[in-house]
Homo-oligomer: A and B are copies of this chain.
Amino acid sequence: MVTSWPKGRAGPGVSAQRVADRINAMAGGRLRVDLFAAGEIVPALAILDAVGAGTVEMGHTAALYWQGKIPAASFFTTVPFGLGPVEHQAWIELMGGQALWEELYRPHGVQPFLAGNTGPSMGGWFRRRVEGLDDLKGMRIRVTGLGAEVFARLGAVPTTIPAGDLLPALERGSIDAVEFLAPATDLETGLPRHAPFYYAPGFNKPNGASEALIGLSAWTALPDDLKAIVAEACRAEHALGLADAHRRNAVALTDILGRGGVTLEAFPRAVIEGARKANTALVAEIAASSDLARRIVESYQAAQAETRSWSALAADMARAMARS
């Protein structure tokens, strides 16, 4: 299994390792998965091509990386203002998402499964306070996924600096803000020293689904019991990955805020509303890009409309319980 992650990277790297270990434990020697970090055999962002071509049998990565060549792919990782982790799994497994995902990936030669979740992301680290939409004009922000296009439509200048170059770029002042992930992954980056305004909600990435990809010829060759073992190994990781992210994020958030110098900020209402409007237009354009993209968008939006009432009430209840 090739991955898009450094070996053991908290979150998706650990998820990939657990998926591999779990398959090996359940298969009792009849199937063996070896794990390779990003770049060891296949570059981080070439996983889909390598698995689809049969160069390797399996990969662990994220669908949003294929957004450039498959416009609707991001729907299988996260969409701005979209489904949260539990609703996302409900859509994929119980409301038609899995069949659409398989249809989308079939021409690329791979079978996809949900295989981990890093939870909702924060809105990012900013060098200056964002008081309104005007502050975003010309702002150079490192951001991935559909959120990049949303920020562009609000007048910001999204860039795609690799994770390792973020700190020097902030130090030099060549970028103004960084959307990374969530507290657990953000804590060790050093970002807070140079961008002390930490924003929520992360409307750009409310979900953090990882995917396992299996080459179609390797997949169809598996007997039914090993197929079930691979599928359940992935499903179990959606739960454990999410619980793990929750715990790590909590510890890291307390740590970040406890060090001083960082303030937790809410985006102003005008920014949220502007982003919501820009995202609605963007999603409509993706839906217009092909018949399959339209069906994916419609299915996703139906799932969101259907789950919204309980999502809101369950969030209120969780908030009441977490009162500190």
Contacts and interface: CB of A to CB of B under 8 A. Distances in A.
A253 B28 contact: no
Nearest to A83: B321
A243 B312 contact: no
A294 interface: no
Given A22-B232, A26-B225, A201-B321, A311 B90 contact: no
Contacts of A206: 317-318, 321
Interface in A81-127: 81-82, 84, 86-87, 89-90, 93-95, 119-120
Contact of A235 (B81, B87, B240): B240
Tell me if A's interface is mostly helix, strand, loop or mixed.
Answer: helix
A311 B322 contact: yes
A316 interface: yes
A318 B84 contact: yes
A89 to B, nearest CB: 4
A238 interface: yes
A20 to B, nearest CB: 13
Interface string A8-48: 00000000000000100111110000000000000000000
A181 interface: no
A81 B321 contact: yes
A324 B308 contact: yes
Nearest to A257: B309
A194 interface: no
A257 B247 CA distance: 34
Interface of A: 22, 25-29, 81-82, 84, 86-87, 89-90, 93-95, 119-120, 183, 200-203, 206, 223-225, 228-229, 232-233, 235-236, 238-240, 242-244, 246-247, 249-251, 253-254, 257, 264, 272, 306-324
